Amino acid sequence: MADAGKKTLFEKIIDKELPAQFVYEDELCVVIKDINPAAPVHLLVIPRKRIEMLSDSKPEDQALLGHLMLVAGKVARDAGYGDAFRLVVNNGAAASQSVFHIHLHVIAGRPLSWPPG
């Protein structure tokens, strides 16, 4: 879990203290390329607001969470995969969450079978 007084990895990236490949930015979120892509397109949609995990989000985060979904669709379209992409949110360490600053994975560019691993 993140230490409340310490920046998360993604806050450091958002603040440009660590490098990343940005593909989109607005006042509420950024989108970067995943450093260890699971597919030809693997983007991370990250809110500027630090929410540790989806299950920590509050009713007041509703509009922000909706915005992240809309941005995910936009960047998938911009990458050429508007009609074939997967959105993933890992919630909790047991569900493979490793960075405790909520983010949506946008994955595309290869066949995506179901169920996921």
Q: Cβ closer to ligand 5GP: 36 or 113?
A: 36
104 contacts ligand 5GP (rule: CB under 6 A): no
* SS3 (DSSP) at 74: helix
The interface region with ligand 5GP, picked from 27-35, 47-55, 74-82, 107-115 by CB under 6 A, is 27-35
68 contacts ligand 5GP (rule: CB under 6 A): no
Residue 104 host element (H or E): strand 104-108
HSE-up of residue 110 (Cα within 13 Å, Cβ side): 9
* Active site (annotated) includes residue 103: yes
Q: CB of residue 94 vs ligand 5GP: minimum separation in angstroms?
A: 12
Using CB under 6 A as the binding criterion, the count of chain residues that bind ligand 5GP stands at: 13
Please name the amino acid found at residue 74.
K
Please name the amino acid found at residue 55.
S
Give the burial string for 40-64 (b: 16+ CB within 10 Å, else e): ebbbbbbbeebbbbbeebeeebeeb
76 contacts ligand 5GP (rule: CB under 6 A): no
Active-site residues, by number, are: 103
Q: Which residues bind ligand 5GP (CB under 6 A)?
A: 9, 20, 32-36, 44, 90, 96-99
